[in-house]
Structure 1
Amino acid sequence: MSEIATIGLDLAKQVFQAHGADAQGYTVFNRKLRRGEVLPFFEKLPPCIVGMEACGSAHYWAREISALGHEVRILPAQYVKPFVIRGKTDATDAIAISKAMKHADIRPVPVKTAAQQAAAMVLHTRTFFVRQRVNAVNALRGYMAEFGLVADKGIANFRKLVAALPERGDPRLPAPARLLLDEILAEIETLTARIQRMDEQIADHAKQDEDIRRLASIPGIRALTASAIKAHVPDPRSFKSARQFSAWLGLTPRQNSSGETRRQGSISRMGNAELRSLLYVGAMGVIIAARRFGTRSAWLRRLIDRRPLKVAVIALANKTARVVWALLAKGGIYQAPAELAGS
């Protein structure tokens, strides 16, 4: 058997597919592995490069296989798909992974530690509970509107919505409807308590992490956003520049250029949607405050004056992302420009 140089591993729940190739790229084997056979199989092999698509279990398998002496590369799934030849099977997917990881232009996803995965899980769970609370509040608002009971929109006006509920026994609201509304209210209170506990957990962790404290000093970034950045970007030095990091977040314009003709569209929205959303919300808060109270930043004043609100917010989020990369990759602390000093 030829010496194995690379292995493309197609991950699954129970039945995995492994494609081995030699240094010239010729197939050595392409076989199925049951879940319990994966680690013993790699334990017997000499050290080689193992590639797999980014998915929910990829970081776990990357840590386990790396511990056996292999070099593991996690590849973005959208960059592996073009290498699939004719149809989709586990065997062709494994071959596509083997081919894709030989291209130096495809940057692998950094392997996360178990602690980094746990930190990301906290943030994802918080987002899940927030989404559930929004659904419950919307349901409560909709049902109450059927009986002519309304209040201003938004979670900030939730107490006004509750105050609009009549007393129990009021003829305007039948007893079965009131019972169901009470159940929804109880669910909202439970979700709110869970979100508050998670916010406290995130805040406690932020106080102990030096990188998060440095990031939280940037305008528009607070503990939640800084914690999300630290959890989702384990190795900022994997990005060659601040612009590459911003492009990974999807905050740079989509290119549609040819020759000397350059056309730029809206932002690409590639990469991590959660981080992009948090940076956008933070930038929106900074610009709203600048409009209301003013700002000493000449750049921000010019941006607000000449651009629509949302375009200005995206531009500020893009700039903030580049500052984030600089702090994480090069160290140091955030220092406001001279024109911002004292603001």
Structure 2
Amino acid sequence: MATATLIGLDIGKHTFHAVAQDVAGHVLYKRQFTRTGLIEFLATHPPCRIVMEACAGAHWLARKLIEFGHHAQLIAPQYIRPFVTGNKNDFIDAHAICEAACRPSMRYVAIKSMQQQAVSSLHRMREARMAERIQTTNQIHALLLEFGITLPLGMRGIRQVPTLLATPSDDLPVMVRQILLQQFEHVLLLERLIQVLDQQIATEARSNDVATRLMTIPGIGPITASQLAADAGNAKGYGKARDFAASLGLVPRQHSTGGKAKLLGISRRGDKSLRRLLVQCAHVIMLNATRWNSAIAEWTRELMVRRHGNVVACAVANKLARVVWAILATGDEYHPHPRTLHEKQTAGRTGGE
């Protein structure tokens, strides 16, 4: 009987569907498993290549399969969808995973460690709390507007709510005042939770070697460095710096044909959270470019003279993404004056001769 060399695994919460192929690409078997049954089956299965979609639970399962001696790989779902033929079901999805994995140019997602997943959970929780805070403050503004009361935008207006509630007035019913007080206390609670999460992320970033090296880049602080270290990994999944920047959607979209190149706006592909953080870091560099003395600050100053601010922000974010890839790939730190450093190294070698 032929030996399975490739297994496409469509994973779910309770049921898993596997399609196995031999070296020639012929389907050997299709099987459905429970979670426990899958682990028992693959624990005794001869080592082979197992490919899955990068979705919930995939990183844990990939680590488990590696412990069994298998070669586990993850593919982003958008790269598997074009290989789904005919109607959609779980076995067809698993077969599509096999088809995608057979392509030599296929891109794979780096498998996260337990620590990286733990740090990512901190960032996801922080994003959820920030979104909930925005939702609550919007509710306060909208409720007051229903009674003809407007406050300044943002938290500056929300902080005026206690003073507004303490002022006797017939404009607000008692029930509405109680609701506003509860919402304001909820905003304060969310702010405290976000501060605690910020402290945890900063502490983790200072103890993480990768995040510490990333923080040597101008404009990148603990939150951005920590999330980059958790989500970008060691950059092994990207062949060059431009590929990493493109994966974050920081390069122009193309619609070229007939030999005519046509570039559009940035593609906004990939992780929107990382892209947003890098753009925010770019704005920090733009605000401090006149005071900072580094190569990237000098480049930003020159670019700000001739281009619009939004274009500069995207360009600087792209530059930061490429610098991040270089640091992740080489294990080095950021050097603010690479030309000067190179000149000093050249001068030292010349002097030694």
Secondary structure of 1:238 counterpart: coil
Alpha-carbon distance between aligned partners in 2 of 1:166 and 1:45, rounded to the nearest angstrom = 68
Answer yes or no: is the 8 Å Cα contact 2:162–2:181 preserved in 1: no
Question: Structure 1 residues 311, 164: CA separation in 2 closer, same or farther (over 3 Å shift)?
Answer: farther
Secondary structure of 2:20 counterpart: strand
Find the counterpart in structure 2 of residue 203 from structure 1.
202
Deviation, structure 1 residue 339: 9.6
Find the counterpart in structure 1 of residue 309 from structure 2.
309
Answer yes or no: is the 8 Å Cα contact 1:150–1:164 preserved in 2: no
TM-score by length of 2: 0.91
| Aligned AA (1:116) | Q
Pairing of 1:206-285 with structure 2 (within 5 A): 206-285=205-284
Pairing of 1:17-28 with structure 2 (within 5 A): 17-28=17-28
Find the counterpart in structure 2 of residue 8 from structure 1.
8
Cα deviations by residue, 1:248-281 (Å, 9 ceiling, x for unpaired): 1110111222353111111111111110010011
Pairing of 1:37-52 with structure 2 (within 5 A): 37-52=37-52
Alpha-carbon distance between aligned partners in 2 of 1:155 and 1:248, rounded to the nearest angstrom = 34
Which runs of no fewer than 5 residues in structure 2 stay unpaired?
A: 342-353
Question: Structure 1 residues 243, 143: CA separation in 2 closer, same or farther (over 3 Å shift)?
Answer: same
| Aligned AA (1:177) | V
Pairing of 1:83-162 with structure 2 (within 5 A): 83-159=83-159, 161-162=160-161
Answer yes or no: is the 8 Å Cα contact 1:149–1:164 preserved in 2: no
Cα deviations by residue, 1:255-314 (Å, 9 ceiling, x for unpaired): 2223531111111111111100100111122223447x6988443223112211111100
Deviation, structure 1 residue 94: 0.7
Answer yes or no: is the 8 Å Cα contact 1:203–1:223 preserved in 2: yes
| Aligned AA (1:145) | L
Question: Structure 1 residues 219, 252: CA separation in 2 closer, same or farther (over 3 Å shift)?
Answer: same
Alpha-carbon distance between aligned partners in 1 of 2:298 and 2:340, rounded to the nearest angstrom = 9
The sequence identity of aligned pairs, in percent, is: 35
Alpha-carbon distance between aligned partners in 2 of 1:143 and 1:106, rounded to the nearest angstrom = 51
Alpha-carbon distance between aligned partners in 2 of 1:326 and 1:156, rounded to the nearest angstrom = 40
Given the alignment of the two structures, is residue 180 of structure 1 paired with residue 182 of structure 2, yes or no? no
Cα deviations by residue, 1:162-206 (Å, 9 ceiling, x for unpaired): 255141653232110100001101111111111010011011112
Find the counterpart in structure 1 of residue 351 from structure 2.
none
Farther-moved stretch of structure 1 (299-308 vs 96-105): 299-308
Cα deviations by residue, 1:52-111 (Å, 9 ceiling, x for unpaired): 111011111111111111100111111111111101011111100111111121121111
Alpha-carbon distance between aligned partners in 2 of 1:227 and 1:215, rounded to the nearest angstrom = 9
Deviation, structure 1 residue 331: 2.4
Secondary structure of 2:137 counterpart: helix
Alpha-carbon distance between aligned partners in 1 of 2:177 and 2:161, rounded to the nearest angstrom = 12
Cα deviations by residue, 1:86-140 (Å, 9 ceiling, x for unpaired): 0101111110011111112112111111111010000000000000000001111
Secondary structure of 1:237 counterpart: coil
Aligned residues: 339
Deviation, structure 1 residue 157: 4.7
Deviation, structure 1 residue 237: 2.8
Secondary structure of 1:9 counterpart: strand
Alpha-carbon distance between aligned partners in 2 of 1:294 and 1:202, rounded to the nearest angstrom = 26
Alpha-carbon distance between aligned partners in 2 of 1:59 and 1:282, rounded to the nearest angstrom = 29
| Aligned AA (1:25) | G
| Aligned AA (2:41) | F
Alpha-carbon distance between aligned partners in 2 of 1:38 and 1:12, rounded to the nearest angstrom = 12
Question: Structure 1 residues 69, 338: CA separation in 2 closer, same or farther (over 3 Å shift)?
Answer: closer
| Aligned AA (1:59) | H
| Aligned AA (1:175) | V
Which runs of no fewer than 5 residues in structure 1 stay unpaired?
A: none
Alpha-carbon distance between aligned partners in 1 of 2:8 and 2:147, rounded to the nearest angstrom = 60
Answer yes or no: is the 8 Å Cα contact 2:5–2:20 preserved in 1: yes
Answer yes or no: is the 8 Å Cα contact 1:151–1:164 preserved in 2: no
Alpha-carbon distance between aligned partners in 2 of 1:57 and 1:173, rounded to the nearest angstrom = 49
Alpha-carbon distance between aligned partners in 1 of 2:258 and 2:285, rounded to the nearest angstrom = 38
| Aligned AA (1:132) | E
Alpha-carbon distance between aligned partners in 1 of 2:198 and 2:246, rounded to the nearest angstrom = 29
